[in-house]
Amino acid sequence: MNGHILIQQPGNSVVTDLGRFRGPRFGLPVNGALDQYSARTANILAGNLDNDPLVEITALDFRMKADSDILIAVTGAPLALTVGGRPCSQWEPVSVRAGETVAIRGINRGLRAYLAVHGSVEAPTLLGSCAPDTVVGFGLQLKEGTTLPTRRSVGPVRQPYFDLPLFRLGLERPNMGQELMVDVTDGPDVAEFGDSAELLFTSEYAVSGRSNHIGLRLGGQLPERTSSGEVLSRGVPVGAVEVPSREELLVLHRGRGVTAGYPVLAVVTSNGLDVLAQARPGDKVHFRKTTVAEATSAHRRSRAQLETLRESVNTVFGLLGIGCRPQWQDLPVAACS
């Protein structure tokens, strides 16, 4: 059964996925959810594929209403989630009855939240992705009155005994706050900064209000390039830490262009990019050096945790009959006497 979601208060929200992986070969940024861990987790908790479309909500309050029973999951920055006026938990599947209002308020530690709907929502795509791209003017920016088609209805799921929590999946939630630790590996141009490269790891940097999904601008004590040669434009990775001027560092995020001509001092790890996705203007950032091998190992541990979560969710959903017939049944009264 298909239905619709009515956006009543959009705040600053878009429909996105994990990114346009075919984009860079055509000169387009990868884009997609900035906090990939939270986005993947929301979809897993909702019983979806990792790359299914979901809603990314940045900083401001959000409110919506569905015309059919749905199941949702909200992850990312700490916030107040209510369904029909009832407080509900983040990082867990939540049932929403037809006509109930879902409200997200009070994002004040961290910056972005992710809302996934079981079965996902419909959204236009470009090169196989619904991720917005501000450069080419593509994407679904939500507005008041926007309706999102949903693909599947799920009857209310509720613990019948003492109203105890139905889901206790034991997921480790990322830490968020005003002091952020971000891991980086050496960049291709680190030798050009000489001894001053160590300033990256001994200094504190403040997130500028001019930061966005293309890159974060960080003020603080800057390493100085010892070479005066011109840097030719070349391909740069997501996470590149550039020193474009004497005023600030620039950390390229998922909306970055695929080429650049500034020296790359370091590269933020994939887990570190998730941390920076939640950085608010004024937050303090400290960089910590790691190796490619250590960064790869940390990424694999994170993905393994999500696979364990997926197995747990699939087991619970299978028993409850979410997306299939229930794999359990109540015992006859005679068997209990």
Say yes or no to pLDDT of 333 above 60.
Answer: no
Say yes or no to pLDDT of 97 above 90.
Answer: yes
Question: What is the model's pLDDT at position 334?
Answer: 46
Say yes or no to pLDDT of 161 above 60.
Answer: no
- Mean pLDDT (the chain) is 90
Dihedral sign from CA coordinates of 135, 137, 141, 143: positive
* Residue pLDDT, tens place only, 188-214: 999 999 999 999 999 999 999 999 999
CB atoms closer than 10 angstroms to residue 20:
24
3-state secondary structure of 142: coil
Question: What is the model's pLDDT at position 176?
Answer: 85
Say yes or no to pLDDT of 143 above 70.
Answer: yes
**Per-residue b/e over 82-120, b at no fewer than 16 CB within 10 Å?**
ebeeeebebbbbbbbeeebbbbbeebeebbbbbbbbbbb
Number of helices and strands (H, E) in the chain?
5, 21
Supply the pTM of this predicted model: 0.91
| Residue 219 identity | G
The residue with greater pLDDT, 134 or 40, is: 40
Question: What is the model's pLDDT at position 317?
Answer: 86
Say yes or no to pLDDT of 165 above 60.
Answer: no
Contacts with 228 (C-beta within 8 Å, 6 or more apart), sequence order: none
Burial of residue 252 (number of CB atoms within 10 Å: 0-12, 13-18, 19+): buried
Least confidently predicted of 81-90, 105-114, 159-168? 159-168
Query: Would you place residue 14 in the very low, low, confident or very high pLDDT band (cuts 50, 70, 90)?
Result: very high
Highest mean pLDDT: which range of 11-15, 170-174, 308-312: 11-15
Say yes or no to pLDDT of 156 above 90.
Answer: no
Say yes or no to pLDDT of 43 above 50.
Answer: yes
Find tokens 């075919």 and name the residue: 22
Say yes or no to pLDDT of 273 above 80.
Answer: yes
Tell me how long the chain is: 337
3-state secondary structure of 271: helix
Measure the CA–CA gap between 34 and 19, rounded to whole angstroms. Answer: 9
Say yes or no to pLDDT of 162 above 70.
Answer: no
